[in-house]
Amino acid sequence: MTAGFMQTRPVFGNIPANVDAVSGRVSDMDADLIVLPELFSTGYQFISKEETLELSEEIPMGYTTQRLIALSKEFTVYIVAGIAERDGDNCYNSAVLTGPEGFIGVYRKTHLFFEEKLWFKPGDTGFRVWKTPIGAIGIMVCFDWFFPESSRTLALMGAEIIAHPSNLVLPFCPDAMVTRCLENRVFAVTANRVGTEHRGAQQLTFIGRSEIVSPQGSILFRATDDQEETATAEIDLALARDKDLNPSNNFFKDRRPEFYKS
């Protein structure tokens, strides 16, 4: 299958323009799976609960998810995209999975970063893996990477590829994902954004460097740190189903959970 990412530069608050910008690039990618950044349709730096409520959308009935469903159907592509989700008076930093069959599911970010804690509720879905015709897709969102339990849980649940919508501001993740893939024998597609936002007290610069990493820890493609970009890689998910390191070692069977702390 062909998996890829779009590295974007959203305009804060302009949902139709941000969705249009992505929509125009889907057909060129010719991918089976496309991962978009975290909060790709709103931008990142919310400055009040009112603003977060106003820009958040219901899933799956909201504007952005419906547009993604239409794109998935038109171009026969699975899409994972970060969206500000509204559920009554609560907002979640969520990611949806859509496919040619329509809406498939939502994941609500487990580990909120910095001021996200002011606007969003911690996710309550837990990690989720969907077995689709193109493979088993697990989702984590940005800062979830910092907790090795996130990718480990997804791998133990059977994820062959981790879709990782992100808005990274710290420099560590692109290199760390090599280890996350290696230790779990999974593929990962991290889709980050570029540009800056200076809406609150602090200016945030997003580091780009979106990437596709293999179960052997190879970086199949890494983007620049400041350009909008798309990339795809031809990948064989069978590599993620084989957890043997050698005839004596299996990444999962050799685990000793009785000695691990929860």
Residue positions annotated with a catalytic role: 38, 109, 142
Stretch that binds ligand ACM, among 12-20, 167-175, 210-218, 244-252 (CB under 6 A): 167-175
83 binds ligand ACM (CB under 6 A): no
169 binds ligand ACM (CB under 6 A): yes
197 binds ligand ACM (CB under 6 A): no
SS3 state at 142: helix
Using CB under 6 A, which of 45, 56, 167, 184 touches ligand ACM? 167
Within 8 A by CB and 6+ apart from 193, the residues are: 7, 8, 9, 10, 37, 38, 40, 44, 166, 167, 206, 208
SS3 state at 84: strand
x-marked contacts with ligand ACM along 33-52 as a string, rule CB under 6 A? -----x--------------
Question: In angstroms, what is the minimal distance from the CB of 193 to ligand ACM?
Answer: 10
Can you tell me which residue has the tokens 């498939």? 104
**Which has the closest alpha carbon to 129: 93, 101, 97?**
97
Give whichever of 38 and 160 is closer to ligand ACM, judged by the CB atom: 38
- Binders of ligand ACM in range 131-160 (CB under 6 A): 142-143
Give whichever of 78 and 145 is closer to ligand ACM, judged by the CB atom: 145
Integer Cα distance of 80 and 154 in angstroms: 15
Integer Cα distance of 259 and 255 in angstroms: 9
113 binds ligand ACM (CB under 6 A): yes
168 binds ligand ACM (CB under 6 A): yes
Give whichever of 113 and 119 is closer to ligand ACM, judged by the CB atom: 113
What count of Cα atoms within 13 Å lies in the side-chain half-sphere of residue 86? 17
Integer Cα distance of 63 and 58 in angstroms: 8
**Cα 241 to the chain's mean position, in Å?**
21
Give whichever of 150 and 230 is closer to ligand ACM, judged by the CB atom: 150
Give whichever of 95 and 169 is closer to ligand ACM, judged by the CB atom: 169
Contact residues: ligand ACM, CB under 6 A: 38, 113, 142-143, 167-169
